[in-house]
Amino acid sequence: MITTSGGGALICGSLEEKNRVKWYATQAREAYPFYQHEAIGYNYRLSNISAGIGRGQMFVLDEHIAHHRHIKDLYKELFKEVPGIELHDNPGPEYDSNFWLNTVTIDPSIRIKGQENVYKETVTCALGGAPGIVRQVKKSRTGCDPADNVEALRLYLAGAGIEARPLWKPMHLQPVYKDAPAYLNGVSESLFKVGICLPSGPLVTDDDVRYIVDTIVEAIEK
């Protein structure tokens, strides 16, 4: 395998070796819908094209931030009428988030259509950022996973063409860091179990937000 824009080349003797190297080079993620790491991976690649795009975006940074805040305000307004769904907002007037990502928590009492079927099968999937790399996990649960209603909602949204993801899994729960010291109060685990990330990018329109919220309302069993 010869790479470009990443500095140097790597020769692999077999397809298995090639796949493993590409897996390490793209964060070494396991095939779960959340970030699960059993090995240390890397993601140092930055081509000249990606760097140029990044520089160009700096000229519209203020517009992007304003759009993200607008999207948050629209989510907040629409979720007012949806009991059990709480949007994360600034905790006080002294805070000023750019709302790069909009996240919600789902009350455990909320039941989602199809919830009874989640976590019954292991996952096989292609990993983002690693073209051609397909991994399968051996078990459907890891010991600390999103609640059944959160995973059911993620799958329901995916069926409607909406990509949503669980919150980031706490670092101390990553297998690769199982022996590392950690100072805990339980907050990160509790949020991971009940939280989900909603589309929030600069290309998300007002109509997209309304469609996402309408789909969430549709997914809730009455």
- Concatenated DSSP letters of 12-56: -SSHHHHHHHHHHHTTT--SSSS---SS--------HHHHHHHHH
pTM value? 0.77
- pLDDT at position 30 is 75
DSSP letter at 112 equals: B
- Name the range with the highest mean pLDDT among 40-44, 97-101, 140-144, 216-220: 216-220
Question: Angle 206-219/61-79 helices, nearest 10 degrees?
Answer: 30
Residue 28 has pLDDT above 60, yes or no: yes
Cα angle 110, 187, 200; round to 5: 65
| Res. 119 pLDDT band, cuts 50 70 90 | confident
Beta bridge partners of 116: none
| The pLDDT of residue 127 | 52
Alpha helix (H) ranges present in the chain? 15-25, 48-58, 61-79, 148-159, 187-194, 206-219
Q: At residue 55, does pLDDT exceed 70?
A: yes
**Residue 199 to residue 92: CA distance in whole angstroms:** 24
Higher pLDDT, 142 or 91: 91
Task: Please report which confidence band the pLDDT of residue 34 belongs to, taking 50, 70 and 90 as the band edges.
Answer: confident
91 backbone dihedrals φ, ψ, rounded to 5°: -70, -15
